């Protein structure tokens, strides 16, 4: 059984389409999306429509919440706020109702799914350091937890003795007795200086988890963002992946 876990599509339909094409090619059985379907990118409506159809699990992200008025966007930086306000005006009622009803967490196949730190999922804490990751393991009981939110992918494992380590290679064999915390990165706005879309592929038959990268037509997304007069900083950052 192969499951793709994506997050932070952020209205970037070109990136989402490229990832969905790859997972189709790879004969992936299931798709989970960990939130921030919208915000930043130029095609929020199309992304929500596609994710509603294709993902068997969708989770609430902070930009989704802000786009439907459930979280105050006042604490967003000015670019994020402009984009989220524009997003709010473009979504139809059905998409807004869908985003409003999303859960903060879900458990599937022994994996806890959340957008941000799973301990307090509606508080949108970032997991950026090994200390954050180590603390995270105490806040869930499942074998593994997959998150997004920082737009920087990682795979961290916890051994039976409690020690934690990060996998450097981008892939990992799931060892019996170990627990895993995986950040799947971002489909629509990667920030680890690799501009390609990021997602995680879990293969339960092989017992592996892997962060995969998919190139997409960045210029097409940028062109649409210009047309909708979205902030230049958000347009430029896509090609540098930061």
Comparison of 80 and 164: residue with beta carbon closer to Zn ion: 80
Taking CB under 5 A as the rule, does residue 64 contact Zn ion?
Answer: no
Comparison of 172 and 188: residue with beta carbon closer to Zn ion: 188
Segment lying near Zn ion (by CB under 5 A), choices 4-12, 122-130, 174-182, 202-210: 4-12
Comparison of 39 and 179: residue with beta carbon closer to Zn ion: 39
Segment lying near Zn ion (by CB under 5 A), choices 11-19, 35-43, 67-75, 163-171: 35-43
Question: Per the structure block, which two tokens stand in for 122?
Answer: 């509606």
String of DSSP letters for the chain: -EEEEE---TT-HHHHHHHHHHHHHTT--EEEE-S--SSSSS-HHHHHHHHHHH-SEE---HHHHHHTTSS-GGGS-HHHHHHHHHHHHHS-HHHHHHHHT--SEEEETTEEEESS-TTSGGG-----SHHHHHHHHTT--SSEEEE-SSS--EEEEE-TTS-EEE-SSSEEE--TT-EEEEE---SS---SS--SEEEEEEETTTTEEEEEEE---HHHHHHHHHHTT--HHHHHHHHHT-
In angstroms, how far is the first alpha carbon of the chain from the final one?
33
Comparison of 28 and 61: residue with beta carbon closer to Zn ion: 61
Segment lying near Zn ion (by CB under 5 A), choices 18-26, 28-36, 97-105, 125-133: 28-36
- 126 within 8 A of 150, measured Cβ to Cβ: yes
The minimum distance between CB 17 and Zn ion, in angstroms, equals 19
The minimum distance between CB 163 and Zn ion, in angstroms, equals 30
The minimum distance between CB 63 and Zn ion, in angstroms, equals 6
The minimum distance between CB 180 and Zn ion, in angstroms, equals 21
Residues binding Zn ion: number (CB under 5 A):
2
The minimum distance between CB 94 and Zn ion, in angstroms, equals 22
The minimum distance between CB 12 and Zn ion, in angstroms, equals 11
- Paired residues of 166 in beta bridges: 156
Segment lying near Zn ion (by CB under 5 A), choices 32-40, 65-73, 87-95, 139-147: 32-40
Taking CB under 5 A as the rule, does residue 36 contact Zn ion?
Answer: yes
Taking CB under 5 A as the rule, does residue 8 contact Zn ion?
Answer: yes
Comparison of 64 and 157: residue with beta carbon closer to Zn ion: 64
Taking CB under 5 A as the rule, does residue 192 contact Zn ion?
Answer: no
Comparison of 8 and 210: residue with beta carbon closer to Zn ion: 8
Question: Per the structure block, which two tokens stand in for 86?
Answer: 């524009």
Strands 30-33 and 2-6: parallel
Q: Which residues bind Zn ion (CB under 5 A)?
A: 8, 36
């Amino acid at each position: 059984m192969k499951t793709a876990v994506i997050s932070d599509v952020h209205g970037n339909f070109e990136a989402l389409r490229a990832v969905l094409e790859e997972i189709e090619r790879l004969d992936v059985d299931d798709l989970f999306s960990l939130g921030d379907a919208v915000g930043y990118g130029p095609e929020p409506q199309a992304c929500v429509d596609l994710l509603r159809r294709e993902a068997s699990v969708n989770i609430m992200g902070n930009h989704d919440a802000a786009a439907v008025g459930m979280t105050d966007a006042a604490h967003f930086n000015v670019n994020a706020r402009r984009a989220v306000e524009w997003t709010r005006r473009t979504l139809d009622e059905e998409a807004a109702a869908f985003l409003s009803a999303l859960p903060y967490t879900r458990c599937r196949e022994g994996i806890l799914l959340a957008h941000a730190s799973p301990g307090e999922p509606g508080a949108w804490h970032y997991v950026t350091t090994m200390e954050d990751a180590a603390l995270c393991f105490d806040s869930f009981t499942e074998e593994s937890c997959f998150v997004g939110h920082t737009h920087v992918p990682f795979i961290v494992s916890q051994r039976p003795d409690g020690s934690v380590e990060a996998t450097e290679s981008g892939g990992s064999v799931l060892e019996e007795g170990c627990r895993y915390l995986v950040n799947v990165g971002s489909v629509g706005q990667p920030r680890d200086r690799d501009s390609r879309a990021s997602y995680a592929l879990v293969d339960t038959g092989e017992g592996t988890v892997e962060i995969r990268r998919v190139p997409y037509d960045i210029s097409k997304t940028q062109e649409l963002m210009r047309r909708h007069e979205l902030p230049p900083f958000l347009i430029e950052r896509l090609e540098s992946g930061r």
